[in-house]
Amino acid sequence: MAQVEARSVQAKPAQGRTARAKPWNWRPASIWALYAVGFVPAVWYFYLGATGQIAGNAVKEFEHLLGIWALRFLIAALTVTPLRDLAGVNLLRYRRALGLLAFWYVLMHFLTYMVLDQNLNLGTILADIAKRPFITIGMACLVLLIPLAATSNAWSIRRLGPNWQRLHKLSYLIVLGAATHFAMSVKVVTAEPFIYLLIAFVLVGYRALRPRIMRWKKARRLAESAR
Amino acid sequence: MASYRYPNVAASEITPRSVWLDRRRFLAGVGTAAALPLIGGGVAHAAALKTTPGPFTIDEEPTAKSDVTSYNNFYEFGTGKADPSANSGDFRPEPWTLEVDGLVGKPQKFDLDSLHAFPLEDRTYRMRCVEAWSMVIPWVGFPLAALLDRVEPLGSAKYVAFETVVRPEEMPGQRGLFQPLEWPYVEGLRLDEARHPLTILSVGLYGETLPKQNGAPVRLVVPWKYGFKGIKSIVRMTLVEEEPVTSWSRLAPQEYGFYANVNPEVDHPRWSQASETRVGEGGFFNAARRPTLPFNGYADEVASLYAGMDLRKNY
């Protein structure tokens, strides 16, 4: 539904100009640019790690960096809707890219842990996942992200219909899980993990309030047009 | 025929950048020194130390100095690994006073010169962090027992309690809204652990005085225990009868105990202690984990200290 809306918004200005030469459509390019920019932290830190320029426990530092960027992209993807509702800024066309970037970062985070950190020692990895709650939660988030990433294409959206929306509400659970995973992994209480937890709670809490906010906005719009 | 040869100047003969950037202050200093012969006597930053080879040498490659001095846990300067080297610029480890009191016959204050007057030894030890990484560090120091002998502990003394300096104005991790730990950082050892010949007070590494991020000017090194037992920038040692409170066990008693002996059999609740990453070894792609050894490989020397104790309970 949301996808269709986005497309119709996109179509309007283009129609007015079709009579003349078709202007270059910058939107798909801007989405590819977002992917390119989004992978910069991973590529840059991978380069630093591979060339021995990360001091100390390089693998762990890289692993943590990928994790924190995964959380940032999750948060960015879930900020698209409130930003449109409350500030009138429509970034809907970038939401899929943000969500997929989050998925790729989570996957790289896990692969770094599995391959570079634990050297594919499956016994230790499975024991970690089973025994240590913060790793269990992190793993659950990765597993839950898989169906979301797999259905992030136009065909799935058409095919699943309203179930697509329902399925993708899993992202609320995932962002809460990811922020909890981060907060539980640190040794001491510092501001950073709590800021992420707070943001995650605000974003998910907004979804609970959203129907009321949208009703109020609609009523106001109707009142204005009646005048 | 070469008409010109590049001058072959040894790196050590070139004036360090920090010194020539500071040349005006240096000149001012020279002027002051002429007027007031008070300058000198103190220990210059990163000064070379006179040492003799010490016992317990190990046949393992020391970790690069750049890693030892840039990857640190010293929460007084921030909780990030790079924070201690980045944020310790304002810290002044000179002059310094280490006070030793409590159940002792001769309570004493040691200044830097008197600490440096102990016979300094090179001691290359393994260092195992509780976070499952390790290093090999060439410390410079002297047995803690030598200092304890000077203060003459009373028969009633059973433990040594240690305390780090509190200087929020010089240590950014000690100010601000979120304080990760309660200050001062405190640690403790049983008296027999403190007197063990492996236990040293370190005043340097790699042959020079301790960098600030490594706990200048004086810190504890107990190589068979997790790194957090090695309390840094010590201002006070008190001999006591009861087991003293320690910072990490106060914060999370289910995760960190008083003893904190390196033990591959007892996991940290949130990660395995069975293996460790040796910093700098194998690089990014071959950072092969090595098995963690009981008592960090010093079992022959120290296991007898804990005979009959349940090390699962006394972690």
A122-133 pLDDT, tens per residue?
999 999 999 999
Q: How confident is the model at residue A26 (pLDDT cuts 50, 70, 90)?
A: confident
Which residue among A59, A132, A190 sits closest to B287, beta carbon to beta carbon? A59
Cα(B104)–Cα(A188) distance, rounded to whole angstroms? 35
The whole-angstrom distance between residue B231's C-alpha and the CA centroid of its chain comes to 6
Contacts of B295 (CB under 8 A, 6+ apart): B224, B261, B262, B263, B301, B302, B303
Residues 65-124 of chain A with CB under 8 A from chain B are: 116-119, 121, 124
Nearest CA in chain A to B64: A56
Residues of chain B with confidence (pLDDT) below 70: 1-45
Mutate to test the interface with B, among A121, A128, A187 (most CBs of B within 10 A): A187
Contact A118 B289 (CB under 8 A): yes
How many distinct structural domains can be found in chain B? 1
Report the percent of chain A where pLDDT is more than 70. 91
Contact A50 B285 (CB under 8 A): yes
Domain of residue B291, CATH code: 3.90.420.10
- ipTM of predicted assembly, 2 dp: 0.77
Cα(A110)–Cα(A140) distance, rounded to whole angstroms? 12
Report the first-to-last Cα separation within chain B, whole angstroms: 71
Question: A19 pLDDT exceeds 90?
Answer: no
| Six-digit token string for B170 | 């010089």
* Residue A193, preceding peptide bond in cis (omega within 30° of 0): no
Contact A191 B177 (CB under 8 A): yes
User: Among all chains, which residue has been given the structure tokens 């040691």?
Assistant: B110
What is the rounded average pLDDT for all residues in chain A? Answer: 90
Contact B279 A59 (CB under 8 A): no
Report yes or no on B7 lying in a domain: no
Report yes or no on B27 lying in a domain: no
B91-146 pLDDT, tens per residue?
999 999 999 999 999 999 999 999 999 999 999 999 999 999 999 999 999 999 99
CB contacts of A57 in chain B (<8 Å) are 71, 81, 131, 133, 277, 279
pLDDT reported for residue A8: 45
Which residue among A59, A60, A190 sits closest to B79, beta carbon to beta carbon? A190
Question: A81 pLDDT exceeds 90?
Answer: yes
Report yes or no on B294 lying in a domain: yes
Contacts of A164 (CB under 8 A, 6+ apart): A151, A156, A157
Contact B75 A185 (CB under 8 A): no
CB contacts of B178 in chain A (<8 Å) are 189-191
CB contacts of B277 in chain A (<8 Å) are 57, 59-60, 117
Contact B289 A121 (CB under 8 A): yes
pLDDT reported for residue B25: 55
Q: Looking at per-residue confidence, does A200 or A120 come out higher?
A: A200
Q: How many CB pairs under 8 A join A and B?
A: 70
Cα(B42)–Cα(B114) distance, rounded to whole angstroms? 11
Which residue among B82, B177, B284 sits closest to A49, beta carbon to beta carbon? B284
Query: Closest Cα to residue B201, out of B228, B231, B227?
Result: B231
Q: How confident is the model at residue A18 (pLDDT cuts 50, 70, 90)?
A: low
Q: How confident is the model at residue A3 (pLDDT cuts 50, 70, 90)?
A: very low
Coil, helix or strand for A40?
Answer: helix
CA atoms within 13 A on the CB side of A47: 6
* Residue range of the domain that includes B144: 47-306
Q: Looking at per-residue confidence, does B162 or A55 come out higher?
A: B162
Residues 159-188 of chain A with CB under 8 A from chain B are: 184-185, 187-188
| Six-digit token string for A212 | 């009321």
Which residue among A49, A56, A128 sits closest to B279, beta carbon to beta carbon? A56
Nearest CA in chain A to B63: A56
